[in-house]
C-alpha cells in the first residue's frame, strides 16, 4: 500500500511539473503570437498612417504607439526572465513627412515679437517653440536680447491661430545663443528632444520667416562643424530671417536643435544649435533679475574664454611659418585660419609688404551693436623695392605704424586706456602700443575687455616688421597672456 501511495505521489509530482512547464511554454508561445501581432500592426500603421486600437482605446496614433511599446516591453521583459529572446526586434518609431509634421506641430511653434512699449511697435521678430509643461517657450538669445539690453521693451508671442500672450524671460545662454521664456498659460503641446542627432538624417526646420507665416524647410544633417569654436550642426537647408529660435526636427518629430543662423554668401548653408545645450537649461523656474544681467553675461563669457584659450596657452608652440627672417606663430585654435595678405606693388611703389593675417570665426552676440569673441593677428615684413635712403624708407614705414579703431557703445564699454613704449621681441627693439578698452561686464572683479597691440621693429635701417593683435571680449589678465604667448613665439634668424 505504501509503495502504491509513493508511486502515486511521484506520478502526481511529475504530472504537476510537466503541467507547469507546459503552461509556461504555452504562455510564451502566446506572447510570441501577441508580440508579432502588435509588431505587424505597427508596420501597417506606419505604412498606412492609421491609428490602431490595442487593448486600450486611444484617440491618436501617438498614444497608440506608446501603448504598443509598453506592451512589447512587458513581453520582452517576460522573455528575458525565461532566458529566451523575442523572435524579432521591436519595430522602429514611425517617421513623419513634412505634411504630417506641419499638421502635428503647427500649434506648438509661435512667432516671438519684441515691442517698444513707448511706441507699441516691433523692434524684432523671431520664432519659438513650446517645451517643458507647455507653458515655456525656447528661442535664440539674439531674438529677445532687446528685452535685456534696452529699456521699455517686452516680449510676446503670436500662435498659429493669431492668439497673443505676454512672455517673461527666465534665463539665457549667451554663448550658445539660447533663451527660455515663461508664458502666462499653456501655449501648446511641448516638443520632445532627441537623445542624439545622426549625421546624414533628414531634418525639418520650422519657423516664421520674414513675418510671412509658418513654414517647414527640409534638409540634411551634415554633422557638427569640425573647425569651429561653436559646435553647430551644419544644416543643408535654407533658413531665413525670422526663423531664428524655431525647432529643427528629425523625421521622428523630435527636436535635435534650434535654428540660429545661415550663411549669407552660401546657398542652403545654415546652422543649428544642438538641443543638448537647451536641455541643460530646462530645470529653471526663476526669472532672471535685471541687475544680474551683466554679471551673468560676464560669467558665461569668462567660462567660455577659459575653455577656448586653455589649450593654446598650455601648448609649448603653435604651428609656425617664416616671413623673410622672422618665424611667427600661425593658428592658435582649430577655428583660426591664416591667409596670405601680401601687397601687389605698382610700378611706382618704393616699398612692398609680405604679410600673413590670422583670424577666427568665433563670435558671441551681445546686442545689435556689440559682439565679442573675435581674434585677429597679423605679421607684415616691410622692405624696399628700390635703393632708397634710410630716412626715405622710415618716412614710408612710419605710415604702417597705425592702430585701427572700432567704436563701442558707451553703455557696454569705458574709454580706451593706452600705454606706449619699447619692447624686446625676438631679440630686437620694437616700438609698441598696448590699448585696453574695459567692458562693463564684470566677473569675479575682472572686466571683459577689448585688447589691441601694435609693434614695429626699429632695429634695422631699411627693413621693418609690424605685428598687430586684436582680441575682443576677453578678461584683462587672460588677454595679456594671449598677447605674450604670441610674442614669445616670434623669432628672428640671421638668414
- Which of 97, 126, 123, 133 minimizes the C-alpha distance to 109? 126
Cell numbers linked to 21? 512547464
Alpha-carbon gap, residue 161 to 303, rounded angstroms: 41
In the predicted structure, residue 2 carries a pLDDT above the cut 80:
no
Write down the mean pLDDT value for the chain.
Answer: 83
The answer to whether the beta carbons of residues 318 and 332 sit under 8 Å apart is yes
Alpha-carbon gap, residue 357 to 342, rounded angstroms: 9
* Strand locations in 311-445 (E): 320-323, 326-329, 336-340, 351-360, 364-367, 370-372, 375-384, 417-425, 428-437, 442-443
Q: What backbone phi and psi angles, to 5 degrees, belong to 271? A: -135, 145
Alpha-carbon gap, residue 155 to 135, rounded angstroms: 15
In the predicted structure, residue 428 carries a pLDDT above the cut 80:
yes
Residue 80 pLDDT: 57
Q: For the residues of 235-285, what is the DSSP string, one character each?
A: E-S---TT-TT-EEEETTS-EEEEEEEE-TTSSS-EEEEEHHHHHTT-S--
Alpha-carbon gap, residue 65 to 63, rounded angstroms: 5
In the predicted structure, residue 298 carries a pLDDT above the cut 80:
yes
Rounded to an integer, the average pLDDT of 105-125 is: 93
Give the H or E element holding residue 487.
helix 476-488
* Burial class of residue 26 (count of CB atoms within 10 Å of its CB; 0-12, 13-18, 19+): exposed
Rounded to an integer, the average pLDDT of 33-59 is: 38
In the predicted structure, residue 346 carries a pLDDT above the cut 50:
yes
Q: For the residues of 154-205, what is the DSSP string, one character each?
A: EEEEE-TT--EEEEEEEEEETTTTEEEEEESS--SPPPPBPSS--TT-EEEE
Contacts of 246 (CB under 8 A, 6+ apart): 109, 126, 127, 128, 129, 205, 206, 207, 208, 258, 259
Residue 287 φ/ψ region, left for φ over 0, alpha for ψ in the -120 to 50 degree band, beta for the rest: beta
In the predicted structure, residue 463 carries a pLDDT above the cut 80:
yes
Cell numbers linked to 290? 535685471
Residue 284 pLDDT: 64
Looking at per-residue pLDDT, the higher value among 264 and 204 belongs to 204
Give the other-Cβ count within 10 Å of 183's Cβ. Answer: 20
Report residue 37's pLDDT band, with 50, 70 and 90 as the boundaries.
very low
Which pLDDT tens digit goes with each residue over 161-190? Answer: 899 999 999 999 999 999 999 999 999 999
| Three-class secondary structure assignment of 195-217 | CCCCCCCEEEEEECHHHCCCEEE
Residue 93 pLDDT: 60
In the predicted structure, residue 393 carries a pLDDT above the cut 60:
yes
Amino acid at each position: 500500500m505504501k509503495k502504491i501511495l509513493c508511486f502515486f505521489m511521484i506520478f502526481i509530482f511529475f504530472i504537476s511539473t510537466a503541467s507547469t512547464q507546459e503552461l509556461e511554454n504555452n504562455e510564451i508561445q502566446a506572447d510570441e503570437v501577441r508580440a508579432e501581432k502588435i509588431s505587424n500592426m505597427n508596420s501597417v500603421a506606419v505604412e498606412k498612417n492609421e491609428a490602431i486600437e490595442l487593448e486600450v482605446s486611444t484617440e491618436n496614433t501617438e498614444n497608440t504607439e506608446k501603448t504598443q511599446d509598453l506592451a512589447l516591453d512587458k513581453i520582452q521583459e517576460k522573455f528575458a526572465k525565461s532566458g529566451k529572446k523575442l523572435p524579432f526586434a521591436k519595430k522602429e518609431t514611425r517617421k513623419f513627412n513634412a505634411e504630417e509634421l506641419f499638421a502635428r506641430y503647427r500649434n506648438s511653434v509661435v512667432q516671438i515679437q519684441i515691442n517698444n512699449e513707448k511706441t507699441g511697435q516691433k523692434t524684432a521678430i523671431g520664432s519659438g517653440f513650446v517645451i517643458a509643461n507647455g507653458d515655456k517657450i525656447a528661442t535664440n538669445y539674439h531674438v529677445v536680447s532687446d528685452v535685456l539690453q534696452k529699456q521699455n521693451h517686452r516680449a510676446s508671442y503670436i500662435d498659429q491661430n493669431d492668439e497673443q500672450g505676454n512672455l517673461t524671460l527666465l534665463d539665457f545662454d549667451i554663448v550658445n545663443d539660447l533663451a527660455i521664456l515663461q508664458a502666462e498659460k499653456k501655449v501648446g503641446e511641448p516638443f520632445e528632444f532627441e537623445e542624439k542627432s545622426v549625421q546624414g538624417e533628414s531634418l525639418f526646420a520650422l519657423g516664421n520667416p520674414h513675418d510671412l507665416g509658418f513654414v517647414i524647410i527640409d534638409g540634411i544633417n551634415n554633422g557638427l562643424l569640425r573647425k569651429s569654436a561653436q559646435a553647430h550642426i551644419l544644416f543643408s537647408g535654407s533658413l531665413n530671417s525670422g526663423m531664428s529660435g524655431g525647432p529643427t526636427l528629425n523625421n521622428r518629430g523630435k527636436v535635435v536643435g534650434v535654428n540660429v543662423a545661415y550663411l549669407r554668401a552660401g546657398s542652403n548653408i545654415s546652422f543649428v544649435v544642438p538641443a543638448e545645450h537647451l536641455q541643460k537649461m530646462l530645470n529653471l523656474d526663476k526669472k532672471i533679475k535685471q541687475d544680474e544681467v551683466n554679471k551673468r553675461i560676464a560669467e558665461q563669457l569668462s567660462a567660455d574664454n577659459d575653455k577656448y584659450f586653455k589649450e593654446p596657452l598650455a601648448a609649448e608652440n603653435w604651428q609656425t611659418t617664416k616671413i623673410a627672417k622672422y618665424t611667427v606663430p600661425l593658428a592658435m585654435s582649430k577655428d583660426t585660419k591664416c591667409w596670405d595678405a601680401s601687397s601687389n606693388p605698382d610700378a611706382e611703389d618704393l616699398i612692398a609688404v609680405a604679410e600673413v593675417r590670422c583670424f577666427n570665426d568665433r563670435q558671441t552676440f551681445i546686442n545689435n551693436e556689440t559682439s565679442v569673441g573675435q581674434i585677429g593677428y597679423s605679421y607684415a615684413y616691410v622692405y624696399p623695392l628700390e635703393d632708397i635712403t634710410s630716412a626715405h624708407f622710415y618716412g614710408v614705414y612710419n605710415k604702417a605704424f597705425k592702430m585701427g579703431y572700432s567704436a563701442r557703445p558707451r553703455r557696454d564699454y569705458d574709454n580706451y586706456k593706452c600705454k606706449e613704449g619699447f619692447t624686446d621681441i625676438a631679440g630686437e627693439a620694437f616700438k609698441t602700443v598696448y590699448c585696453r578698452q574695459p567692458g562693463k561686464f564684470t566677473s569675479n572683479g575682472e572686466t571683459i575687455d577689448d585688447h589691441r597691440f601694435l609693434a614695429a621693429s626699429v632695429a634695422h635701417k631699411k627693413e621693418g616688421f609690424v605685428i598687430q593683435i586684436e582680441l575682443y571680449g576677453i578678461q584683462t589678465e587672460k588677454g595679456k597672456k594671449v598677447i605674450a604667448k604670441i610674442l614669445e613665439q616670434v623669432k628672428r634668424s640671421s638668414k
